[in-house]
Structure formats: C-alpha cells, structure tokens
Chains A and B, each alone.
Chain A
C-alpha cells in the first residue's frame, strides 16, 4: 500500500462506508477504505452446505464473542440485558442482517417537538427522502407502494412472497382491524442489476448465497471500486491521529499480519457502527484530545440505543410452510407506532412478522422453551412445533440516556491488543412498559390468527443488532458530537456516517436510514468541497 496521503480515508466497509464511498467516487478524489474483515465467499455460506441454521452457533453467530473470528473484536456486554450483534467483513453486518428495510417515519425526526422527549434531529424526513430513494435503487428494495403508515415512496421491486404464514398472520390483523402491510425488504424479487431473484431459501441470517439479499459487498462496493475507490481488507484501525493543529491527519492500523502501519489522509470518515466508532474515538487520545478524539462535549460513547425486542411466537394447529421465504421479511404492522399516551408510554413500536423455524431451529428453540424434551416424548413434542410456528418481533423505540454507554474495557482486548468496548445499558421504565404492551398486543393478534398457544421472550437477549446514538448529531457543540451533516464539531476534517450519529432510534430497523444519512452526508461534502473545513 502506498504511504502517500489519500484524500479521503474511510474506516469500515459496511452499510454506511460503502454508500459513502460509492457517492464520493464520482469526485475522482483518491479514496481508500480500510476494513478489518475480508471479502465473503457466497459459495461458502452455510445454506450451500446444510440447512445453515446451525451456523448461528459458531462461525456465523450474531455475537462476535461467540463467533470469535480473528477479524472480530470482543465486546464486554455482560452487564447488559441485550447482547451486541454485528459482523465484520466487507458488507459489515449486512452480511447477516434480515434486510428488513423500513424508513423512519417523519415524526421520528421530531421527538422533542411532538412528544417532549429526547431531541429533534437537525435533519428531517423531507431532507432525507431523495437519499432514501437513491438507496432503494442501489440496494434493490422490494415492497408495495401505498402503505398508509408512510408518505408516498418509491419501491422499485414487487414484495416478497407472504406465503401461507403471512396470509395467516394478516388474517389476524384484519380480524382486529389493525394495520399491516408487506414489508419493504432489501431483497430482489426479480432479476435486478445483475442480481438473481430471491428463491425463498430462508437462509438470510447466515448469508445469502443467491445474492438476492442486498449486502453492500454486492451492491455499493462493485461500482465504487470500478470508479477507482480502493478497498483494503484485514486492516484494523487502532486510532485516528491528529496534527499539531488538532486536525485528523490519518490512522494507525494493523495489517493482516498484525504489522503496525500508518496511513495519512486529508479527510477521515468513520463508518464502524455505534460500538466500533466510539471505541475508536475513545482510543484516539492525544494532547489535543485527552478524553478521546472529538469528545470535548463528553458525549462520545454516551446515549447508546438498541431496540429492545420482544419475540412472541404463536403455535398453530396447521402447517404454515414457515421455513420457506426470507427469514425476517414478510409483513409489518405500524398500528402502535405513533405516540398515544393512553397506552402508558411515550413513542411506540412496530411489529415485524418472522417466518417459522427450520428443522434444526425448531429443535433448538423448542429445547430453550422447555417444550422439546429428550427421550420417549421427543418426537411427539417436536411434531407439535415443527412447521407450526410463526413469530412476531416487536421493535420498541429506545430513548437516549447518558447512562447507557460504550466505554473502553480495562482488560479485554482484540487480537491486535486494542482495548475492547464495554457496554453499560439498562432498560428504561418507558421501554419496559412498551415491551409489556407489545407482548399483549402480539399475543392478541396471534390468537386472532388462530394460534392455540403463545411463547414469549422479552426482552430478546441477543437482539443488539441496532447500534445507535453514541456520537450523535446536532447543531450545538455542547450537546452533540457531529453537526447536521456528519462533521465532527471538534475536528473539521473528521466525519461520522454510521448509526452513532442517530439522535433517536425510531421503532424500525435502522440500516435504510443509516445509508440514506451516509448518502446525504456524502452529497453535502461534495457540494462543500471548496470549503469543507470552514
């Protein structure tokens, strides 16, 4: 690798880093991305070898602690009721995500004005709308226009198949008069931009060998690289360095052999997710920034938000063919999304319908629920669950609290000796009430759909998929880390584009909004190239 300074250095090749790299590529600046993981080989995804379900116990586990690949870093989340999930590779966590791809609601950017909690964002839905549209085309989003839960929006591809399971659950919502709609999914349902359509294999959560699920290694990165962006893998950044004036001047990283390297840059962009970005900033201490880079507000690592999840699983008397179809994409309901204080909490939650379990997952979940014993009763108990379950995930809005945070662990390190992140997190009373409400309503709809029994997990302990808020955006340098277009208040050539900059969490999966924000920030950078650091 050249030791010459690059114009733009991006750290992280996941959802946001890829989108930003693609957008900036047209400037013909020298752009380099350093990614701690490698390229994934779709032919090696578990769904090509067995059913793939068991891989979630090992090399494709959601938790980096359970997975333990060299490119992973450990996370001390032992003190949190929700464990962190992420993946490290080109594509980042989009390799393992469900590709459930909702946008935020307009009201999500106005929580303070509308509901008197948290803060308003310095951008709004209308500002991001064109970038949601670009992202829909780049990722290949399927769905159905006309959802009354949203302003009119562009959906390039027809929705994923609902199947018998989806129709059954939709019937439950209809009987109660509640909202439901086919989910927006970053999954191609027709041939699209060289990608094959979904074949309903149900292996989304361990990598899509079909290439129908939009992970950024197959969406944004190929055109970005064709336009000249350089992407170096197995390079783990230890710290962002600053010059005598306190401006970022590059990074120190370890290459695939563990050798320490230095890369100079005129602009540094962090795209390492809501855990990795504060970890890197807090580990980048200097004379100018003794408490961590860009941390004069003291807010780096603070206000960590997950989405507390409840999972409610219905057991039905008839087979549902639930092992067919995209795992986490079917239909959604936003019936309880907007604030109604009569419910006993502020803000709201969405429902995401999940497919049923495959043969292995049925056994393992059934064992976890204490419903499938070993011995003589095993087959009877298994038959009562296999292909007879349908799940509803409630995604609850988490509100920012300074006490929920990411710090550096004093003992734990990754394979290169870089301090690991430590999570301090508790569920708020508002979240507890929201979870309780969502479990009751999910139970109601499952029973209306014909379920004869219901199993509840709340909060879902491994559901720390959505990592937000730890370097939030705002116009006031005292109360935010980055400005309204992702530039750090304290370091004017340092940008952040991942979920760290979220002001609030909304009540839907964040990837679409993370990418729309990254595209918006890239566009704003392009418009301000002449005076980027003013």
Chain B
C-alpha cells in the first residue's frame, strides 16, 4: 500500500497541468485578497452595508456550503441507520465532501465576521442560548467535530494507526446518529434565521415553514451532491478506485436519484402548500412571482421529473445532469432567500451586489476545497478499501 501510495503521489505531482495553473492563480489572488481583508477590514473588499450585512460569503459560502455538505449525514444515515449497505462505497467520499464543506464554511466565516477571533465567545464567554445563531454555531462546531471523527479512520489507515482506527470505527453508529440529529437542527435553523426578518424577505420566500424548506432541500442537495461528486470522481480518480467502488457506481446514482426524485416531489408539495397557507397566490403575477416560478418549476419540479425519468429508464447521464441542475437550484434558492428576495423593497441603488473581491474569496475557498479533496483522495483509502482492513467496514 505504501508503495502504491508513493506511486500515486508521483503520478499526481505534475505542477503545470491546466488545473494546477488555474488553481495556482486563484490561490495567489485569494491570498492577496485575504491579506487585504484582514489588514484593511471588510469595507475594503466587500459591498456589505448596514442594509445588507450578510452578503455572498453567507449566501454562498455558508448557506450553500452547508446544504451541499449534507451528503455526509444523508449517506451515512442511509447506510448505517436504514441498513442500505449497497451504498456503502459512497460513505467515505460523502463524509469527506461533508467534512471539507463544513471546514470551508468555518473558514469562510472567519472572513465574514468582523472580529473572527471572537468566534469562540458564544461557547466560552457569553452563551446566547435563546439565539438561533448560537444554536447554528453550536451545531456546526459539533457536527464539524463529528465529521472529523467520522473521516479520521481513513487518515488513520493511511498513517498506520491501527488501534485508534479500530476504536473510532466502533463509534460509527453513534456518530451517525449524532450527525443526523445535529444536521436536522442546524440545517433547519439556517432557514429559521430569516424568520426574524418578515418585512425584509419577499413574501413568496418568507414563510413560517422556512426551517422545514431548508432542511428538506438540504437532503435534496446532499443526495444530488453525492451523485455529482461520484460522477466527477469516477472520471478523474478512476485509477484510485477498487472494483467495489467501480461496480457500485450505477447503484449509487440510481438509488440516490430515486430518493432525490421523491424528496423533490415532497419539497414541491410543501412549497405550494406554503403559498396557500400565506395566501400569496397574487404575488405570482408579479416580477418576483415570475422568478419564484422559475425556481419552483425550473429547479424543483423539472429535476424531480428528470430524476424520475432517469431512474425509470436507468439513464445515468440524465441523472448526473439532473444532479447538476438540482445543485444550481439549491444555489439559486439560498441566493434568493439571503440576497435576491432580501431587502426587495429597497431602491435599486441601495441593493447589494457582491464586489469582485467577495466573489474572488468565494472562488478561492472552493478551490482550496478541491485541492484538499484531491490531496486526500490520492493518498488515503477513500475510493478503495485499505488492504489491511478489507471487509472490516
């Protein structure tokens, strides 16, 4: 294994591939922007204002990041709680994606909050236990820890820490239950954060059901992200996969596609019921209503139908592209709630649009995630069982 790993390292150490060059440029620019952000403050790199204190770093890096990282708890719950062992090969990649997703959320948060060194204050100095934000912070911190422990057996197998690895593997079910509980809490609480702003969020997006919408859509995001990540990994890291992973590829896409189709159908239903509950039908005839219908029909109903057709016809290409469409839909939804439909009544001149430097930092953080993901999967047993631990999962 060690020899194989070294060979793998050498194989990937080609510094001037197109990906490396683009990633290198992004990292250099990102580091420069980071220096600017932490030496000259938020105002020097962002378009944030008193009207819009939460911009793209919250809308994309945090809300989208947390939703797309839901694949970890969705997959581990399916395998370890619901006993769907046929998806076992998807667990480690999903846990890794989730772990990196949450780690990058926390990294992005350091850029967004004014005084990041005070992030531990809610835990150690002043507990705002009645605050939703405290609950989100506590759950994210705990779940990041859980994901780290869930991911650690792969790193321990790589490092040869057999006893520690066996100890952690025994905790799998407990960690999975923790993960599901913590995810349910904070995925919904992220939506609940916007309940405080009924006059700022457009009525079509504001609903008492926002926590439910965020939670259900996070399951959809998690399922779609596993399909998307799996299809990319099979394309770029095929040589790292053992026969089990290669054989399970279609199973995972079909099973997760079916689950996503059903969850999307349920999500569509509760969104329509939400419109009925608030008697918001008349808003559908406005400009914002048209945009809402684009989101609801184009990025919820359409992927629901396409997933169903893909699963029925066993059309894996269609399922993969539908996963992309669904992920775009989740991004649009989080952007709508946190930015586009937020402060909708403000005149155009006062509305928020991110500066290129905010977008640059977001791209930088995603790139860091891709680089770390590649570093880990080319070294640790993520897409294959370690020879010493075969059949022990």
Determine if chain A interacts with chain B: no
